[in-house]
Structures are given as structure tokens and as C-alpha cells.
Chain A
Amino acid sequence: MDFRLTEERQMLQDALRRFLADTVTPEGIVEATGTATGFAPALWEQLTELGLPGAMFTEEQGGFGGAGFDLMVVFEELGRAGLSVPLVETVLSGALLDAAGMPVDDLAGGQILALAHTEPAARYDLNRVDTRAERTAEGWRVIGQKAVVHHAPAAKAILLTARTSGAADAEEGISLFLVTPADVTLRDYPLQGGGRAAELTIDATLPESALIGPAGTAFDALQTAHARATAALCAEALGMMETVKTLTVDYLRQRRQFGQPIGKFQALQHRMADVLIEIEQARSAVINLCGNLDGPDRDLHVSATKNLIGRTARLVVEEAIQMHGGIGMTMEYALGHFAKRLTMVDHRFGDTDYHLERFIRQAKSRAS
């Protein structure tokens, strides 16, 4: 039992925290959201040089990390900065390509691949795929729609799931394809929490070689990819909570009303103490997930942690806005961006209730 970071991870954390503190501002993030890619490409290159994509992969895969705690260290810092870069996409794509026996060294070197899996009618169900792919004489005929494809506008290529057999909600029959932006139509837009995504429509014939891995077998890899991406997102949420906490405590010390700092009022002290307690719980939950990411109880911890993070994120955001008062409602102050980005964590990879129900199923199947 050891809760200290290894020397390597500590160095990465320190370097990343320094770099992001010097480079990134909430205003810059909001401004980048208005550009074509939704983030500054030069910044992504710098982060790649710092080793961020590389930390997502093991040495055998061409990286220098790959464990749950590597994800935790990196994403907590990205969260602290409130930054939107396509690193969750690296985690998702990396797990999918790796499961298909494909090399991931390009991803470790900073290549951006978006994942188009979720569909307008699928909500958070990973098994729900209505997009169809049929083998024809010319190749794969693929027709369907994908929802909220993060970083699709910046991606050079897109991993796309389509059903090659089975009913719309069958776990079997889901296949993975690699498509180019030319194969699809994107309607791109900014996101509430910063960065860009797109609605994707595909009605195209893809070459035989577009299929990644054996047809119809992508579901397990999708689960693994989403487990890892959920760990990353939860760690990012934790980092955002830390920033929101710092902003709020600073505000409680500085803002004066009725002749004293508002932090002297017991009503606010107790609310802030509860926020702090819950953030420590969130940190423990992220540690639990990252420490079990390669273990037999992975999915139990995925759902436990995502549920707890969802509840805590809402508490932290709502309490922070309330304790700030009017200034907490504006985008002229840093809290606004973090409040929105942190709120959106519950809208990706399954929300609080989705994972509570899934936790019950996981716990039951473990017990039996």
C-alpha cells in the first residue's frame, strides 16, 4: 500500500503543472473553442513533446506509461488547467487499435484519431449501434449517424463503429472501421465545456482494408477503451474540482460583505468543509479506479467511480457558484469555464444514474 507517486510520475506531474500554469488560461481555452480545431494545434505539439500521448502507452506499445496511475497524473493536471485537448481520444483509439493488434506508436507520437461510436438513439449504451455496414463487391457499404464525436473537426482520421450483424443492441456484431474525413459529413460545433465536436453522418462505400480487426468482435475492446477513458475523464474531473476549490476558497477569503470576509460566516465555512470532504472522496474514488484498471473488478470500479464523480461534480459546481454569488454566474471570471466543463463530465461515458444501475449489476454478478 503506497499512495505516493513514483519519481517519474512526480516529475511528469511537476513539469506538466508548471507548463500548463504558464501557458493556459481559461480565456485562451474559450477563445480556442471558437477556432476550427477547438484547441491550439501548437499547444498539442508542445504537450506531445512533453510526453503526454506517450504516457498513455506502455513501453512495448511505444510509450512510457500506460498504467492507470499514469492516466491519473496526466489527466488531473489537464483538469486543473481546464484544457480541452484530444487526449481522451488517444486513450480510446489506443485501446481499440491495440485490441485489434494494430500498432499505436503514431498515437503515442501525437496523431489525433477521433472515435465515432455513440449514436443519437444510444444514449450511454455501448452495445447500441444502429449504423450498418454491409460487405459488397466494392467493399463496405456503411450507413448511419454518430453523435457528439469529440474532436472530430481536428482528426485526420476517425475510428467508426458499425454493425455488421445482429440486432441493434446486440453485443456481438459490432465492427470497427477507419474512415477519413472525406468519407463522412460533419456538422461541427463548440461544446459547453470547451473544445469542439461534431454530428457525423456516413453514407459511403469503404475499401475492404477499412475494417480494423475481425468483423463483429469490437464490443470487448469498446468496453476496455471506455473503462480507460472513464478513468481519464474522472481524473480530469478531479483536477477541475481542485481548481474550483482553490478559486472558491480564495474568493471566500477575499470577498468582504457586512464588514468581514464572507469566509468568516459559519454557513459558508460548513458548506466549504463539505465540499472539501467530498473532493477527498472523489480523489479516493479515482485512485480506486486507476488502481483496478487492469484488474478483475475493473468494471465495478468504473461504475462506482463514475457515479461518485458525477455526484461530487454537481455538488462542487453548484456550491462554488452559490458561494461566489453573482460573479459565479459570469463567463468573465475563471469559475464559469470550469463549472461548465465539470458539469459536462456527467454527460460522457455514462451519467450518475447509469453507473449506479451498472454498479448494482456488476456487484451482483461478482457476488454470484
Chain B
Amino acid sequence: MDLSFTPEQEAFRAEVREFLNDKLPKRLSGKVRQGKRLTKQDYEEWHAILNDRGWLGVTWPTEHGGPGWDVVQRHIFEEETTAAHAPRVVPFGLAMLGPVLMTFGSDEQKAHYLPRILNGEDWWCQGYSEPGAGSDLANVQTTAVRDGDHYVVNGQKTWTTLGQHANMIFCLVRTSKEGKKQEGISFLLIDMNTPGIEVRPIVLIDGEPEVNEVWFSDVRVPVANLVGEENKGWTYAKYLLTHERTNIAGVGFARAGLASLKRIAGEQQQDGRPLIENPFFAAKVAQVEIDLMAMATTNLRTLAAAAAGQAPGAESSMLKVKGTVIRQQINALARQAVGPYAQPFASESLDEGANAEPVGPDYALPATQAYFNNRKLSIYGGSNEVQRQIIAKAILEL
């Protein structure tokens, strides 16, 4: 048992810090810290900076242009980038599709798509969920029917995050109605510019069009865009989900959120004293901080097990539940800390260079927005109830 990092790991941390100090544009970190809207160009700018250093595909092996980091290095990188208020790396191509292609894609697919993910030529989005397939992901109704060298795709995907920026989408489609619902699913790569695709934004409760509906009407997709084998898509989909869950605990986000909460509660005054010194409020903050301290170690224990070769299995379900609940508690406390200025909804001030001054303190609207937006955490990626089900079955064997 040893909670400390090795000198090599500490040196790596210093290297990451120096890089962030030199290369992370203050304009971007300022926007993240202030909760401003990030544009497509903001994300692309940060991706390009990371890619220049070879640090974009953090989970990727060196042969595909990744840094070849172990899990501890990835953890340190995540800690440092979130602490520095770097924009998040958009995960769909890098963290989700990339590993699937490396494992199940053809040589042609790897050679074509992987470099384009890194250099930003392709912006991927995820076509998993459907109106009738939320946590019951295998209930895919979107069909793909073979017609010569093409599949003809019809159906609807939803909750497609940042789909408005994407030129490519990876989709689960039904190629067979035989057998169990998991058995007739295939994994297709689809160009968003193909005729018959329509994208409609969905405005969420924070007022932001973060997700979309994507409609497919007789969309012709070359057979060469099938990943792996027809009707084996569920295997690849599950593989992708294990990668989706590697950073599921969100410790870095939680720490950044806690620091922001303490800043807000330090500035807000109640009865002539900072709110953070109010014993009732301080107790709530302290309790979630204590939970986070334990959570960080639970996360490290899982990482250490993964480093020792144990695949992240149902343990990631525990991290998902606890990690998301902690982040939501922090968001709720920050919203509470803001006080009456949680009410104004003048969201034009969230745009960079907006002429509109924020109403009330500049942290008020972002804190409230984060609260509403992060209600998604316990729903997406397999709702927390689905995660409890996985725990009950896979760990408790009930």
C-alpha cells in the first residue's frame, strides 16, 4: 500500500503542468472557468494544440499516434487539465470510436479514419440512443437493409451530443430481426452529408442546444462503412461503453466544481459573513468534500486494478453512480450558494465578447446552468438505475 506517486509520475505531472502553462490559451481557460459557451472552433483549437504535442488520443497506443500512456499517466493528465480549466476533449471520436476501430475495424478503416480523428478532419457524433432505446440500448429500431454495395438506413437517433458540429456519425442499426434483440445489430459509419439525413437541435433545460435528433430517410451507406461483421455490432457497442466509462468517475470535474463552489460561497455574504462560514452550509460542503476525497481513492483503486490488467468491469458502474451523485451535489450547492441571482436567465452573456453584462455576479448564471445541465449525469451512459442493476447482477450475483 502506497498512496504516493513515483518520482517519474511526479516528473510527468510537472511536464503536463508546464505544457498547460505554455500552450493552453488563456482565452480558452478563461471561458471554461467562467462557464462561457464554447464554440466548435474553441474545441478544435484545443484539440489541435494537444495533437501537436501528441497528447490528444490519451488512450491510444503509439502505433496509432497516441502517447501510449498508462492509466496513472492518464489520471494525472486528467487531473491537471481539469485543474487548469482546459476545455474537455470531445470524446466521441477519440475516446469512443477510436478504440473500437483499432480493435474491430478493417485495415482500410484504421488507415483512413484514425488520422482524421486526430487531425480534426472528422468530428464524430454518437448514434446510439433512439426514442425507444434509452437505457434499453439494444432496442434499436433504426434499420439498415442491404441493397448491392450499400445499406439503406431508415430511422431516428436522439440525444446526439454536439451532432450539430459533426460531419460523421457512428450508428447502431438493425440488420436482422432474428433471434435476441442484441443479435441483429450492426455498427455503421455514416457521413452526415449523405442525402436523407436531417439534424434537429433539442434545447435542454439550461436553454442550450447541446443534443440533437438525427433522422435517416433512405440514407445510402457504402458497405465498406460496416465495422467488423454484420449483426455483431452489440459486441462492439459494449466494448465502446467500457471505454466511455474509463473516466466515468469525473474526479477532475468534481474537484473543479468544488473549488468553484468554495469561491462562490466565499464571495456570497449572509448575515455579514461569507456564506462558507455559515455552519449549515459549511457542513454540506464539507460532507461532499469528504465523499470526494474517498471517491478519488476509489477511482485510483480501480485504475490501479486496470493497470494490473484487470478489465474495468462492474466496478465502473460503482464509479459512475457515486461520481455522478457527488458532482450533482456540488452543482446543487453552487446553485444554492448563488442565492437570488440564480433566477435571471440572461444567457446572451455567456457568449464570448457579448456586449451584455451578466445580471448579478458573473458566476451566477454559469452555476445555475451547470446545475440544470448536469442533471444529465445520472441519466446518460446508462442511467444510475441501470448501473445498480449491473452491480446487483455482476458483483452481488443476485
Closest CB of chain B to A247's CB: distance in Å? 13
**B290 within 8 Å of A (CB atoms):** yes
5 contacting pairs across A/B (C-beta < 8 A): A3-B304, A272-B392, A284-B296, A285-B297, A288-B297
Are the CB atoms of A360 and B282 closer together than 8 Å? yes
Q: Which residue of A lies closest to B390 (CB)?
A: A273
How far, in angstroms, from A253 to B397 measured CA to CA in the complex?
9
For A301, what are the chain B residues with a Cβ–Cβ distance below 8 Å? 293
Question: Closest Cβ of chain B: how far from A298's Cβ, in Å?
Answer: 13
Question: Does B42 touch A at the CB level, under 8 Å?
Answer: no
**Contacting pair A281 B391 (CB below 8 A):** no
Asked whether, in the complex, the Cβ of B283 is within 8 Å of the Cβ of A360, the reply is yes
**Residues in A neighbouring B301, C-beta threshold 8 A:** 3, 283-284, 287
User: CB distance A277 to B322 under 8 Å?
Assistant: yes
Residue total for A at the interface (Cβ-Cβ under 8 A): 44
Residues of B351-383 at the interface with A, using a CB-CB cut-off of 8 Å, are none
The CA-CA distance from A284 to B3 in the complex, in Å, is 11
Closest to A70 in B: B1
Which residues in window 234-292 of A have CB below 8 A to B?
249, 252-253, 261, 263-264, 266, 268-270, 272-274, 276-277, 280-285, 287-288, 290-292
CB-based contact B3/A287 at 8 Å: yes
Chain B positions 271 through 291: 1 when the CB is less than 8 Å from some CB of chain A, otherwise 0: 000000001001100110111
Q: Can you list, as one digit per residue, whether each of B293-314 has a CB less than 8 Å from chain A (1) or not (0)? A: 1111110110011000000000
Residue contact B300 to A280, C-beta cutoff 8 Å: no
If the complex has contacts A276-B318, A284-B297, A360-B282, are A308 and B398 also in contact, measured as CB distance less than 8 A? no
Q: Chain B residues in contact with chain A, CB under 8 A?
A: 1-6, 9, 72, 279, 282-283, 286-287, 289-291, 293-298, 300-301, 304-305, 318, 321-322, 385, 387-389, 391-392, 395-398
Summarize A's interface: helix, strand, loop or mixed. helix
| Residues in B neighbouring A276, C-beta threshold 8 A | 318, 391, 395-396
Asked if residues B385 and A270 are in contact (CB atoms below 8 Å), the reply is yes
| CB contact under 8 A between A249 and B398, given known A272-B392, A273-B388, A360-B286 | yes
Considering only residues 16-52 of chain A, those with a C-beta below 8 Å from chain B are: none
B398, A281: Cβ atoms closer than 8 Å: no
Contacts A273-B387, A281-B291, A356-B290 supplied; 12 other A-B pairs, CB < 8 Å: A1-B6, A3-B304, A6-B1, A249-B397, A272-B392, A276-B318, A283-B298, A292-B3, A307-B287, A308-B294, A357-B283, A359-B286
CA of A116 to CA of B329, assembled, Å = 41
Known: A266-B389, A304-B290. A249 touches B3 (CB 8 A): no
B396 cross-chain contacts in A, Cβ below 8 A: 249, 252, 263, 269, 272-273, 276
CA gap between A5 and B1 in the complex, in Å: 6
Residue contact A252 to B294, C-beta cutoff 8 Å: no
Q: How far is the CA of A277 from the CA of B294 in the complex (A)?
A: 11
Residue of A1, A5, A288 with most partner-chain B CB within 10 A: A1
Whether A270 lies near B392 (C-beta < 8 A) is yes
Contact A284 B287, beta carbon cutoff 8 Å: no
User: Chain B: which residue is nearest A272 at the CB level?
Assistant: B396
Distance of A357 Cα from B283 Cα, bound (Å): 7
Write out the residue numbers on chain A whose beta carbons fall within 8 Å of the beta carbon of B392.
Answer: 263, 269-270, 272-273
A195 vs chain B, min Cβ distance (A): 28
A1 pairs with B5, CB closer than 8 A: yes
Main secondary structure of the interface of B (DSSP, over half): helix
For B303, the closest partner residue in chain A by CB is A1
Q: Is the CB of B283 within 8 A of A291?
A: no
Greatest chain A CB density within 10 A among B282, B304, B305, B392 is at: B392
Bound: A304/B288 CA distance, A: 10
Instruction: Let me know if A274 and B388 touch, CB within 8 A.
Output: yes
> In whole Å, how far is A92's beta carbon from the nearest beta carbon of chain B?
23
Residues A308 and B388 in contact, CB atoms below 8 Å apart: no
Given A269-B388, A292-B3, the answer on whether A263 and B398 have CB atoms closer than 8 Å is yes
CB closest residue in chain B, given A358 = B286
Q: How far is the CB of A3 from chain B (nearest CB, A)?
A: 5
Contact of B286 (CB < 8 Å), options: A2, A72, A283, A363: A363
Residues in chain A near residue B72, CB distance under 8 A = 1
CB nearest neighbor in A for B284: A356
C-alpha spacing A326/B341, complex, angstroms: 51
Chain A: CB-nearest residue to B315: A280
Residue pairs across A and B with CB atoms within 8 Å: the count is 123
Q: A357 — which chain B residues lie within 8 A by C-beta? A: 279, 283
Q: How far is the CA of A269 from the CA of B294 in the complex (A)?
A: 24
Bound CA span A7–B2, Å: 14
B134 to chain A, nearest CB (A): 17
Partner of B1, one of A3, A253, A285: A3
CB closest residue in chain B, given A282: B294
Within 8 Å CB of B304, what residues of A?
Answer: 1-3
Contact partners of A284 in chain B: CB under 8 A: 294-298, 301
Contact A4 B1 (CB under 8 A): yes
Most A-side CB within 10 Å, residue of B1, B287, B301, B391? B1
Given A276-B391, A304-B293, A359-B290: A253 and B398 interface contact (C-beta under 8 Å): yes
- A335 to nearest B CB, angstroms? 17
By a CB distance below 8 angstroms, the chain B residues around A177 are none
A1 touches B4 (CB 8 A): yes
User: Distance in Å from the Cβ of A363 to the closest Cβ of chain B?
Assistant: 7
The answer to whether A356 touches B283 (Cβ under 8 A) is: yes
Instruction: Give CA–CA (A113, B395) in the complex, Å.
Output: 42
Interface 0/1 of A285-315, CB less than 8 Å to B: 1011011100000000100100110000000
Nearest chain A residue, comparing its CB with the CB of B325? A277
Whether B395 contacts A281 by the Cβ 8 Å rule is no
Closest residue to B387 on the A side, CB-wise? A273
Q: Which residues of A contact B289 (CB under 8 A)?
A: 304, 359, 363
Residues in A with CB closer than 8 Å to B297 are 284-285, 287-288
Contacts of B2 in A (CB 8 A): 1-2, 291
Question: Nearest chain-A residue to B326 (Cβ)?
Answer: A281
Bound Cα distance A285, B2 (Å)? 14
Interface centre among B2, B279, B294 (most CB of A within 10 A): B294
Min C-beta distance of A253 to chain B, whole Å: 7
A69 in contact (CB, < 8 A): yes
Q: Is the CB of A2 within 8 A of B294?
A: no
Which residues of the other chain, B, contact A1 by a CB distance below 8 angstroms? 2-6, 9, 72, 300, 304
Q: How far is the CA of A301 from the CA of B297 in the complex (A)?
A: 13
Q: Which B residues are CB-close (under 8 A) to A274?
A: 321, 388
Distance, CA A354 to CA B1, complexed state (A):
29
Q: Whole-angstrom distance from the CB of B27 to the nearest CB of chain A?
A: 29
Across the A-B interface, give the 7 residue pairs with the lowest CB-CB distance, nearest first: A284-B297, A269-B392, A263-B398, A291-B3, A273-B388, A273-B391, A284-B294
Chain A residue contacts of B398, Cβ below 8 A? 249, 252-253, 261, 263-264, 268-269, 272
Q: How far is the CB of A178 from chain B (nearest CB, A)?
A: 34
